[in-house]
Amino acid sequence: MKNFVFHNKTKIYFGKGQIENLHSEICRFGKRVLLVYGGGSIKKIGLYDEVISQLKKAEMTVFELPGVEPNPRHTTVNKGAKICKDEHIDVLLAVGGGSTIDATKAIAAAAKYDGDDCWDLIKRKAFVKETLPFCTVLTLSATGSEMDGGCVISNIESNEKLGYFAPDNNPDVSFLDPTYTFSVSSYQTASGSADIMAHVFDMSYFSLENRMDMLVRMQEEVLKTVVKYAPVAIEKPNDYDARANLMWASSWALNGFLYDGLSHATVCHAMEHELSAFYDITHGHGLAILIPRWLSYVLDEKTAPIIKRMGVNLFGVDENLENTEGAKQAIKALENFYFVTLGLKSRLSDLGIDDKHFKTMAKQACGWRGGVLNGFTDLTTQDVENIYRLCL
Amino acid sequence: MKNFVFHNKTKIYFGKGQIENLHSEICRFGKRVLLVYGGGSIKKIGLYDEVISQLKKAEMTVFELPGVEPNPRHTTVNKGAKICKDEHIDVLLAVGGGSTIDATKAIAAAAKYDGDDCWDLIKRKAFVKETLPFCTVLTLSATGSEMDGGCVISNIESNEKLGYFAPDNNPDVSFLDPTYTFSVSSYQTASGSADIMAHVFDMSYFSLENRMDMLVRMQEEVLKTVVKYAPVAIEKPNDYDARANLMWASSWALNGFLYDGLSHATVCHAMEHELSAFYDITHGHGLAILIPRWLSYVLDEKTAPIIKRMGVNLFGVDENLENTEGAKQAIKALENFYFVTLGLKSRLSDLGIDDKHFKTMAKQACGWRGGVLNGFTDLTTQDVENIYRLCL
C-alpha cells in the first residue's frame, strides 16, 4: 500500500436550485468575471439566464467566451487568457460539461502565464505558478473536472490531445444541480457514464499493486452506481435520483479519493486521447470501445482474478468460475453493458475510423510516457497498435 | 434526497513516515507553534522526538500544552488559549487522538475570541469568527476529528459535554501514519472502532429520509471495513493494512462525504455525551453499549427494513427473513460483534454506572435539542431514560 496525499479544496453545492448561492460565492473573488460556455445548450435550458441574473445580483461586470469545443482547443484557451489579461478579469465561471470546465481551468492558469501560448504549459515547457480563481456550474456527468485539478486540451494543428494536472488548479466552488442534466441526450448520457467508469477502471481499479481494501470496495460502489443508474437516466431522462447518483459518482470517480497513491499510467486514457486528437470523437465513447478489448488483450493469470472480480461484483458473473473463464465472462458482461444496455456503437469503424493512423497514434500514445505505457500490464507501441486493431 | 454542501479543506498526508513533511507544511503558518498532546504516550512511541525534530528543522519556537484529558476539559482549552494570546502563537500542532485534536480545535477558536472562557463559544453565547491555523498528527483511529470541523468539550463542574462545529475549523494539514496506532491497546482499538461505526450509524445510516443510494452503499463499505479490520488489529496490533484501513475509515466516517445533507440529530451521541459527562467513560465504549439497545427500542415496521439491511450487509444475516425477525437478528449480530468479537463490556453497570442520574441525563440530552431528539424515530426524555435502563 503506497503513501499518498489527499487534498481537495473544491466547495460543492449539490442539488436542485443551488444556483441561488452563486452570487454570494462568486463575489468573494472580485468584480470582473469571464463567463465561459460551449455551444449554447445552456441557453436552451434557461441556465444562461439564471447565471446572468445571479451575476447581476452580485453586481459583477460580465465578459463572455462562448463556443468552447467538445474537445477544447488550445487556441480557445489562448483567446480566453487574452481576455483575462486585457480586461483584468478577477474570476472565471465555467457553465457546461467537462470540456467547458477543462478549457476554463487552462485559461485560469494561462491568464497568469507571461507567454502568449498555453501550449507551453500543457507541454511542460513552462510551469504554472499561480492561477485565477474559478467556479463551475456542471451540465454533464462525465469527466469529474468539476472537482479535480486536471484538464485535457487539444491541439488540432499538431493532432495532440494532452492532459495537464496541477494540484492547486481545482475549481474553488462547483454547483452540481442534477436537473441541469435532464436534457442530456441518451448518447451523451451513455458516453458520460462510460467516462465515469473509465476513470475508476483506468486510474485505480485495474491494478496489480497492493491497495487499500476499503478503497477498492468503494471504487466498486461508484461503478455499481453507474451500472444501476445510467440505464435509468437513459430510459427516464428526468429521473432526479438517477441523475443525482450519476452526477456525484462522476465527481468522486476522479477527485483523488479513490486513487490511494497509485502511480501507474492511465493507459486507456492515453490510447483514447489519440483517437480524439485524430478523429475528434466523444471521449467516453472512445473509452467504452477500448476498455473491453484492452482487458481481453492483457488477460493472463495475474490479471484474471481482478477482471473476474469486476464481473462478479458489477454484473453478477458466477464467482465459482475458474479465474480466466470468469474474466472472459466479465469482459462479455461489460461489452454487453456498453454496447447493448447503453446502446453505444461497439467498433471504431462505426465512427468512421480506419487503421491509417494507428502506427502514429500508438507511437504518440506511448511517446508521452517514455515509450511504454506502464499499468495493469505494461504496453509497448506494438501492443497499443494491436489493441487499436482489436477495436476496428 | 436533500440538497447539501460538501467542503473539506484538510490536506491529508497518509502513510508510514509522512511526518517527514511536517516541517515544510507547518512553517507555512508562521514561526511560533503551540504543541498540544495528552498523557505522554507519544513520548513512549518516539513520536514526540520526531515531532520536535521536525519543528526544529522548520526553525519554529515551540511552546507546549501537555496533559489533555481523554474527555478534554474546557479549563484545558482556556489554558491553551491563554498561552496562544500571551505568546503570540501562529499555529497549533495537535499530536494525539481525538481528544487532543478536539481540544486543539477549540483552542484555535478560543485564541481568537476576546473573552476568557471558551465555554461561551461551546454554549453559543458567542460565535467563532476567526481561528488560528492548526495541524494534527493522529495516533488513534476513532473520532474523525483529524478531518472535520467538530469537537466535543467537557465541563466537569457543570456535568456538561457538548459538541461544537464550525465549518472553517477543520485542521489545515493532518498526518495519518498507521504505524502510530500499532501501540494502541485492544480496549482502545475496540472502543475507537465502535466510535467509527457509531458515526456512520448515528449521522446517516439509520434514517428514514430519502437518501442518495451511492452514499448509503459507501456508508456500508466504511462499516464493513471496520467489521473486517478491527478484529485483525486487535489480534495483530502491528498489521499495517488493518491499521491503515481503520485509520482512513475513521476520517471518512465523519468528514462530511457520507451525510448527504441529512438533518436529524445524532441521538446516540447525544445520549452518550451525558454518560461521559457524568462518568468520564470512553466515548466509543459508551456508544457500543447504547446503539444495540437503542435499535431494539426503536424497532418497528418502518425502521425494521433498515436495521435488517445492516445485518444482511455487515454480518451475513439471511436476507429472506421477514423484516422484524431480520432486524432482531441484525441487532444480535451487532451485539455479538461489540461484546464478543471486540470484547467490550456490554452493560453500563460493568462501568460502575447506576440509574441515579438517568432522569437528569435524559432531560439534559433532550434539552440541548429542544426537548426531543429527532432522528431515526423521535425520542422524548422518557424514551431516553428507558433506553438508559435497557443498558444497565
Q: Do A244 and B17 touch (CB under 8 A)?
A: no
DSSP code per residue over B10-68:
EEEEESTTGGGGHHHHHGGG-SEEEEEE-SSHHHHTTHHHHHHHHHHHTT-EEEEE---
The mean per-residue pLDDT over the stretch B351-364 comes to 95
Cell numbers 512511541 correspond to B45
The C-alpha cell that represents B194 in the structure block: 465502535
Q: Are residues A196 and A175 in the same domain?
A: no
CA proximity to A39, closest of A115, A120, A92, A103: A103
CA atoms of A251 and B159, how far apart (whole Å): 44
Identify the pLDDT of residue A166. 76
Q: Do B13 and A3 touch (CB under 8 A)?
A: yes
CA atoms of B97 and A15, how far apart (whole Å): 35
Backbone angles phi, psi at B321, to 5 degrees: -65, 150
Could you tell me which residues of chain A have a Cβ less than 8 Å from any Cβ in chain B? 1-18, 212-215, 217-218, 221-222, 224-225, 228-229, 240-241, 244-245, 248-249, 257, 261
CA atoms of B168 and A10, how far apart (whole Å): 14
Q: Are residues A153 and A244 in the same domain?
A: no
Q: What is the ipTM of this complex?
A: 0.94
On chain A, the residues whose CB falls within 8 A of the CB of B241 are 1, 212-213
The mean per-residue pLDDT over the stretch A23-32 comes to 97
* Residue B5 included in any domain: no
On chain B, the residues whose CB falls within 8 A of the CB of A18 are 3
CA atoms of B1 and A379, how far apart (whole Å): 44
Helix intervals (H) in chain B = 22-26, 41-44, 47-57, 74-87, 98-110, 119-122, 186-200, 213-235, 240-253, 267-279, 283-298, 304-315, 323-336, 358-367, 381-391
The mean per-residue pLDDT over the stretch B116-121 comes to 94
Q: Do B213 and A4 touch (CB under 8 A)?
A: no
Indicate the residue among B147, B180, B213 that finishes a domain: B180
* Residue A2 included in any domain: no
User: In 3-state terms, what secondary structure has residue B298?
Assistant: helix
Give the chain A residue nearest B226 (alpha carbons): A214
CA atoms of B58 and B92, how far apart (whole Å): 14
Do B266 and B201 touch, CB atoms closer than 8 A? no
* Residue B85 included in any domain: yes
* Residue A1 included in any domain: no
Give the pLDDT confidence of A239-279 residue by residue, as tens digits: 999 999 999 999 999 998 888 677 666 899 999 989 988 99
Q: Are residues A343 and A215 in the same domain?
A: yes
Q: Structural domain of residue B222, as residue ranges?
A: 186-391
Is the pTM here over 0.90, yes or no?
A: yes
Q: Are residues A160 and A190 in the same domain?
A: no
Could you tell me which residue, A238 or A157, shows the higher pLDDT?
A238
Give the pLDDT confidence of A177-220 residue by residue, as tens digits: 999 999 999 999 999 999 999 999 998 899 998 889 999 999 99
The mean per-residue pLDDT over the stretch A348-360 comes to 95
Rg of chain A (C-alpha set): 20
Q: Do B14 and A4 touch (CB under 8 A)?
A: yes
- Burial status of residue A345 (CB atoms within 10 A of its CB: 0-12, 13-18, 19 or more): middle
Q: Are residues A254 and A274 in the same domain?
A: yes
Beta carbons within 10 angstroms of residue A312's beta carbon: 19
Q: Are residues B222 and B365 in the same domain?
A: yes
* Residue A6 included in any domain: no
Give the chain B residue nearest A177 (alpha carbons): B3
* Residue B1 included in any domain: no
Q: Which helix (H) or strand (E) holds A91?
A: strand A91-96
CA proximity to B176, closest of B29, B11, B9, B6: B11
Indicate the residue among B180, B212, B246 that finishes a domain: B180
Q: Are residues B284 and B138 in the same domain?
A: no
CA atoms of B11 and B17, how far apart (whole Å): 16
Q: Are residues B104 and B229 in the same domain?
A: no
Using the predicted structure, report yes or no on whether residue B146 has a pLDDT greater than 90: yes
CA B22 centroid distance within chain: 24
Indicate the residue among A122, A147, A180 that finishes a domain: A180
Q: Do B225 and A241 touch (CB under 8 A)?
A: no
Cα four-point dihedral sign B351, B357, B361, B364: negative
Backbone angles phi, psi at B159, to 5 degrees: 50, 45
CA atoms of A95 and A66, how far apart (whole Å): 10
Give the DSSP letter of residue B235. H
Q: Are residues A334 and A308 in the same domain?
A: yes
CA atoms of A132 and A36, how far apart (whole Å): 14
Q: Are residues A175 and A218 in the same domain?
A: no
Domains in chain B, number? 2
Give the pLDDT confidence of A126-141 residue by residue, as tens digits: 888 899 999 999 999 9
Around A345, how many Cα atoms within 13 Å sit in the side-chain half-sphere?
11
Query: Among residues of chain B, what percentage have pLDDT more than 90?
Result: 85
Q: Are residues B325 and B384 in the same domain?
A: yes
Q: Are residues B148 and B215 in the same domain?
A: no
CB-based contacts of A256, cutoff 8 Å, min separation 6: A6, A7, A8, A148
Q: Which helix (H) or strand (E) holds B137?
A: strand B134-138
Specify the CATH number for the domain of residue B48.
3.40.50.1970
* Residue A173 included in any domain: yes
Q: Do B13 and A2 touch (CB under 8 A)?
A: no
> How close does chain A come to B264, measured CA to CA in Å?
18
Identify the pLDDT of residue B1. 86
pLDDT band at B172 (very low <50, low <70, confident <90, very high): very high
* Residue A5 included in any domain: no
